[in-house]
Structure 1
């Protein structure tokens, strides 16, 4: 697996007033959205996953005893520490450009959080132009976020547990037209708010589109508590990183992950 180097900025900013207003607006819009306002589910569909499929897509954190998941667990510990200190429960993951490995990292991080004895993890595929979470996990997706946003399914029908305790996935089966408009809609705001407020001990991770590929990520970022930026070593230029940081603006950037770096041999100490 590509080496992952977590670099966490411990000077995370406190939630801005605009974020608080955004959440308040999302909450008050629930009366206008009866289909998404009925988020009542008590059982999640359990779907077995295949180890060889996960390994082929570099999903290593499924097995918490894997020697390859050490960097992911370190990242998890740093991320959870900052989120706990600030009372944050929604984490967006994005990158400057495609192919930086953000989706693979999002899946591995969510699984690592689920291994944490006091936390549960929900992973949502919000890359509506190029959804990959479900396919990387090998999940059947007869009903997914596509049907939920089209009011053709309820939330309980589209959530999936890939046979890992405390881990739930909300996959997207296929690209969604007018993705920017959908991500900026009251419907999506209402969904994010409900997922965030439902369980105090759950971390909600959202795989977003790349920042520089469209305005999708920029549109939806204010709805999340914090964001993690994934940068690909040797792929993303200094200009792309600087432009991404500019677009992140007032978002609570809790850290940057250097992905696809060369492996370095280190002693235990």
Structure 2
């Protein structure tokens, strides 16, 4: 058989095996990477897709556990950065905006508490973002804080959707709220953190969804399993910040349970809406945490109808 005939035969076999242009495929790290593949910014091979598409990649055991023979599936989502920018979220391509500068100010003391050995803050890299009531912008601030920290040279960020009753991050980033996540991991001891993590096309940002709803979510978050997960998240990676987008403090009991296990808490307060008494009641719920920061959100700029948040 001639060289041309052998090449044609190989192309036919590849088509039969599902490597057609435009298809989402699975890759084994021990195999060659096909022409449709690309490397994300963190070096993980994946298929280029549109907004909200999730890629499942089979990664060879040597990349997870050299002693194992099984393969592990790594999920990866392509975040539409231009769409986020239109929604007012900080992105890597728009770093000179006013909101980007505001979150640079917000993150700096949080990072100092998390990584300065003289700060005295235990588990300072576990940061919960919450609010007194719904609609004050806590998820917006959680995502912006995570995106801003992802720009750091020396730190990575893991965004955990802990608003288990009404998760909003899936809609913002474009993935299904039915993806396995935090609650699934707490219910199933066979699931590990890596089983529910989702990589993104943002090099230093990883996600953990809320998971499927459960009637005993508060008890799950207060369990020993949750404590063990938090210890692992706090100690496993020395350069990682973990941000929890939690439910509102005065509407559910889940947020209070989480607050008791955090190193730092950020309380989002909506300007011209949230009363001083409401803020005081919310602060009473999180007295167990020594480091509480406030973001005054949606404040009206002087001489303008435009809203912005500041620290």
User: When the two structures are superposed, what TM-score results if normalisation uses the length of structure 2?
Assistant: 0.67
Answer with 1 or 2: which has the greater Rg: 2
Asked whether the 8 Å contact 2:259–2:288 carries over to 1, the reply is no
Displacement, 1:148? 2.1
Change (3 A) 1:173 1:180: closer
Aligned counterpart, 2:284: 246
Is 1:133 aligned to residue 164 of structure 2?
no
Which of residues 157, 160, 167 in structure 2 aligns to 1:121?
Answer: 157
Aligned counterpart, 1:30: none
C-alpha distance in structure 2 between counterparts of 1:145 and 1:195, whole Å: 12
Deviations 1:166-214 (A, max 9, x none): 1111012443322211111111111111111110111111111111002
Aligned counterpart, 1:105: 141
Pairwise CA RMSD of aligned residues? Answer: 2.4
Structure in which a larger fraction of residues adopt helix: 1
Which of residues 201, 209, 234 in structure 2 aligns to 1:163?
Answer: 201
Which of residues 86, 107, 110 in structure 2 aligns to 1:79?
Answer: 110
DSSP 3-state at the match of 2:105: helix
Asked whether the 8 Å contact 2:164–2:247 carries over to 1, the reply is yes
Displacement, 1:264? 4.2
Q: Which runs of 5+ in 2 are unaligned?
A: 1-62, 66-72, 305-311
Is 1:201 aligned to residue 239 of structure 2?
yes
Asked whether the 8 Å contact 2:79–2:201 carries over to 1, the reply is yes
Moved beyond 6 Å, runs of 4+: none
**More relative contact order, 1 or 2 (CA 8 Å, 6+ apart):** 1
Change (3 A) 1:177 1:201: same
Q: Which runs of 5+ in 1 are unaligned?
A: 1-39
Aligned counterpart, 2:272: 234
Asked whether the 8 Å contact 1:131–1:174 carries over to 2, the reply is no
C-alpha distance in structure 1 between counterparts of 2:92 and 2:185, whole Å: 27
Q: How many equivalent pairs are there?
A: 227
Change (3 A) 1:53 1:157: farther
Asked whether the 8 Å contact 1:211–1:247 carries over to 2, the reply is yes
Asked whether the 8 Å contact 2:90–2:148 carries over to 1, the reply is no
Within-5 A mapping of 1:52-63: 52-55=82-85, 57-63=87-93
C-alpha distance in structure 1 between counterparts of 2:301 and 2:200, whole Å: 29
Aligned counterpart, 1:143: 180
